[in-house]
Amino acid sequence: MNASRGRPTLEQVAARAGVSRATVSRVVNGSTSVAESIREAVNRAIGDLGYVPNLAARSLVTQRTDSIALVLPEAATRVFSDDQFFPSVIRGVSQELEAADKQLVLMLAGSPASHDRVERYAAARHVDGVLFASMHGSDPLPGKLARMGIPVVCSGRPLGPATVPYVDVDHIGGVTAAVHHLLALGRTRIATIAGPQDMVAGIDRLAGYRGALKDSRSRSIVAVGDFTRESGAVAMRQLLDDDPALDAVFVASDLMAHGALGTLRAAGRRVPEDVAVVGFDDIELARYTEPPLTTVRQPIVDIGREMARQVLRLAAGEEAEPAIVLPTELVIRQSA
Amino acid sequence: MNASRGRPTLEQVAARAGVSRATVSRVVNGSTSVAESIREAVNRAIGDLGYVPNLAARSLVTQRTDSIALVLPEAATRVFSDDQFFPSVIRGVSQELEAADKQLVLMLAGSPASHDRVERYAAARHVDGVLFASMHGSDPLPGKLARMGIPVVCSGRPLGPATVPYVDVDHIGGVTAAVHHLLALGRTRIATIAGPQDMVAGIDRLAGYRGALKDSRSRSIVAVGDFTRESGAVAMRQLLDDDPALDAVFVASDLMAHGALGTLRAAGRRVPEDVAVVGFDDIELARYTEPPLTTVRQPIVDIGREMARQVLRLAAGEEAEPAIVLPTELVIRQSA
DNA sequence: AAATCACCAGAGAGCGCTCTCTCATGTACT
DNA sequence: AGTACATGAGAGAGCGCTCTCTGGTGATTT
């Protein structure tokens, strides 16, 4: 570590190694056309001086920033609840980016003001790509940025025509497995607590429920929640009023299922004896509810990883898959 | 928006406005010594061209990056569990940084390799400051960076002498309130499930418990967990074996309390009739346990906000408070 | 032995911005 | 009327890096 003011520069390393700036640059960037002896001398000088490249200077000339923005809609119900969606996606993204030696710039876009901020920031190319997690499917921003030529990847299939690559899970498949499981258990009056119908996760899971029931004798009984516990509790109450004889319920999120479990208990129904319950998400809590929750697991960390991989590919000028759909899996515990 | 390749530069704005680059820079950076008419002309040109400053170029000369790193130890038990600590801190930090128009660079430092990465990144001044959340109190990295003159703020009082400013909550005060509440309820055999004793939160909460019991006739009964549900369940089992007659337990985290509640139920103890339970954290889940959990609320989002404020102050060359301790508050529900 | 070529290192021109100096203009004062 | 002084705008020098172009070397070819 040198004691002079400021970080050492390429120039200083070059001087110490007795070579030119360009050569040091080659070594730093791993160019092959540098003689072994010189490479060693340069590396020694780098070590002695504790040289670390100045990213701002590099960005200025390369037009790359080596960082990727992850945009989370702060307002979205799911993002800051304790269903772990948010931390899990971050973790997945972070793992992939770290492997590629890129930085993660996190932006919470709650207000319209911060929405603009994201747009300005990305449009000014301060990041090499943008990841949108769990936005409302109809948000125009991803498409807008993509049209400006900025690499963009979304989580969750967009509503309407998909203008940008996205990564999602197989909601329909998961729900179908859940409903079939309920059917196999001999349940005949299977209700559902659906998620908000302006989010793809809400829409698809309801569609999956309807589709799976279609080829059975069971009719559909639907209440809509917003993915929160509270709404699950309320919706369950309503379902019970609508059809006191229901014997199963597929709930579109574990948090809502947790709320529903409370309502069921309060109503004196035993789970799973009187009413079988299946959730969706397989959050940490699902193992610890009373009784432990049978649910559909979705690989959230993998969503993050795939998103990162895709955006990196785009940023490198390669093609990305227009859609990646990750598998879901029914996890059977005791509630059904 | 101009159609030429790349973003418009200061130069182009200057040409369009009929002034020099320097003047445009003055307008962009809000210097006062620009005549009103010229300022307007420049702003018009900026608008017409859709000019956005190139941050890399700016950083290169100002030596500022206008971004702050938030380092989270990926491995730490608490960070990725569903106790919401992690998202809440991020949210707080993000709010403050956004208000100051700074970027948030998130770094998960799980492995030793990524630990090094954080060091290199910060040492190279790629960020104006670093926030460490929930690190193990003895980690040398914060101190090391601080000694290099990099603005650093930690969450959680460091173990040993505090070498960097930190933000923490009043663990002792919260625990004291909790234990006094239990005492006021007439409980006489008050046990505790402590957190890991290599984390300040674990240490302080246990110390608080001991201190509060000291001036009562109740003796202390301790089991140690690691802040996870599982460990809470196990510790509760052990406590029950140690003293079958205990009538209350202060649990150092809500997640552990949740686990303990399960054990208590399995052991046939009623809560709060037989055993009163108080947790710590006031996570979302605490309202929904069976019964709802009496707990100590800590303002996690505010921790994030304060950390961000402090680091911004340091980065601006001002002094920061060496320690900020935020208040905690007993929230009485039904478990005690 | 001369010519060709591959290979590797250096020179130098910027990338887009800020900021210090310098200078021109207008205002106030003696 | 002449000098002093604000005030506001321009010129120009970098910030640290990459990358193209140029040139010098030694090995290979004819």
Per-residue model confidence as pLDDT tens digits over A120-159:
888 888 899 999 987 676 788 999 999 988 999 999 888 8
How close A18 gets to chain B, by Cα (Å)? 23
Is B91 buried (19+), middle (13-18) or exposed (0-12) by CB count in 10 A?
buried
pLDDT at residue number A31:
67
**pLDDT over 90 at A213, yes or no:** yes
Average pLDDT over every residue of A169-186? 97
Is B139 buried (19+), middle (13-18) or exposed (0-12) by CB count in 10 A?
middle
Q: Which nucleotide is nearest to B35 (CA to C1')?
A: D8
Q: Strand D: which positions are within 7 A of a protein CB? A: 7-12, 14-20
Question: Is there contact between A7 and strand D, defined as CB under 7 Å from any strand atom?
Answer: yes
More confident residue, A27 or B92: B92
Q: A66: which 2 tokens?
A: 């080596």
Q: Which of A82, A102, A119, A305 to mutate to test binding with chain B, by most B CBs within 10 Å of its CB? A: A82
Q: A165: which 2 tokens?
A: 């690559």
Using CA coordinates, name the residue in chain B closest to A284: B82
pLDDT at residue number A40:
85
How close B55 gets to chain A, by Cα (Å)? 7
What B148-152 contacts at long range (C-beta under 8 Å, 24+ apart), as own/partner pairs, is B148/B123, B150/B122, B150/B123, B150/B125, B151/B311, B151/B314, B151/B315, B151/B320, B152/B311, B152/B314
Using CA coordinates, name the residue in chain B closest to A59: B56
Average pLDDT over every residue of A202-231? 93
**Reported confidence tier of residue A6, pLDDT bands at 50, 70, 90:** low
Pairing of strands A294-297, A329-331: antiparallel
More confident residue, B264 or A51: B264
From first to last of its 336 residues, chain B has per-residue pLDDT tens of 333 346 788 888 888 888 888 888 888 887 667 788 888 888 888 888 888 889 899 999 988 899 999 999 877 666 677 888 888 999 999 999 999 989 999 999 877 788 888 988 888 888 999 999 876 667 888 999 999 889 999 998 888 787 899 999 999 999 999 999 999 999 999 999 999 998 889 999 999 999 999 988 788 999 999 999 999 999 999 999 999 999 999 999 999 999 999 999 999 999 999 999 999 999 999 999 999 999 999 999 999 999 999 999 999 989 999 999 999 999 999 999
Query: What's B205-245 look like in SS3?
Result: HHHHHHHHHHCCCCCCEEEECCCCHHHHHHHHHHHHHHCCC
Q: Residue B154 carries which side chain, given as an amino acid letter? A: C
- Say which residues have a Cβ less than 8 Å from residue A102's Cβ, sequence separation at least 6: A66, A67, A68, A128, A312
Distance, in Å, from the CA atom of A221 to the CA atom of A236, rounded to the nearest integer, reads 11
pLDDT at residue number B135:
67
Question: Is there contact between A115 and strand D, defined as CB under 7 Å from any strand atom?
Answer: no
Question: Is there contact between B61 and strand D, defined as CB under 7 Å from any strand atom?
Answer: yes
Residue nearest C6, CA–C1′ metric? A33
**pLDDT over 50 at A236, yes or no:** yes
Q: Which of A179, A159, A187, A156 is nearest to A169 (CA)?
A: A156
At A156, is the secondary structure helix, strand, or coil?
coil
> What is chain A's percent helix, strand, coil content, to nearest 5?
45, 15, 40
Q: Which of A203, A258, A204 is nearest to A236 (CA)?
A: A258
- B98 touching A (Cβ < 8 Å): yes
**pLDDT over 70 at A76, yes or no:** no
More confident residue, B14 or A207: A207
Q: Which of B225, B173, B232, B165 is nearest to B199 (CA)?
A: B225
Window 203-262 of B, Cβ < 8 Å to A: 229, 258-259, 262
Per-residue model confidence as pLDDT tens digits over A243-293:
999 999 999 999 999 999 999 999 999 999 999 999 999 999 999 999 999
Average pLDDT over every residue of A97-102? 92
Q: How far is the CA of A19 from the C1' of D27 (A)?
A: 24
Q: B232: which 2 tokens?
A: 């809470």
Distance, in Å, from the CA atom of B238 to the CA atom of B259, rounded to the nearest integer, reads 13
pLDDT at residue number B5:
47
pLDDT at residue number A77:
59
Distance, in Å, from the CA atom of A328 to the CA atom of B31, rounded to the nearest integer, reads 56
DSSP A122-150: HHTTSSSEEEE-S--TT-SHHHHHHHTT-
- B114 touching A (Cβ < 8 Å): yes
Q: Are B120 and A290 inside 8 Å of each other by CB?
A: no
Q: Which nucleotide is nearest to B12 (CA to C1')?
A: C16
- Say which residues have a Cβ less than 8 Å from residue B321's Cβ, sequence separation at least 6: B165, B310
Distance, in Å, from the CA atom of B52 to the CA atom of B12, rounded to the nearest integer, reads 12
Q: Which of A192, A125, A202, A115 is nearest to A156 (CA)?
A: A202
Protein residues with Cβ atoms closer than 7 angstroms to any atom of nucleic acid strand C: A 18-23, 26, 32-35, 38, 57, 60-61; B 6-7, 9-11, 21-22, 25, 28-29, 51, 53-54, 57-58, 60-62
**pLDDT over 70 at A52, yes or no:** yes
Percent with pLDDT over 70 in chain A: 96
Question: Is there contact between A58 and strand D, defined as CB under 7 Å from any strand atom?
Answer: yes
What rounded mean pLDDT belongs to chain A? 90
Q: Residue A241 carries which side chain, given as an amino acid letter? A: D
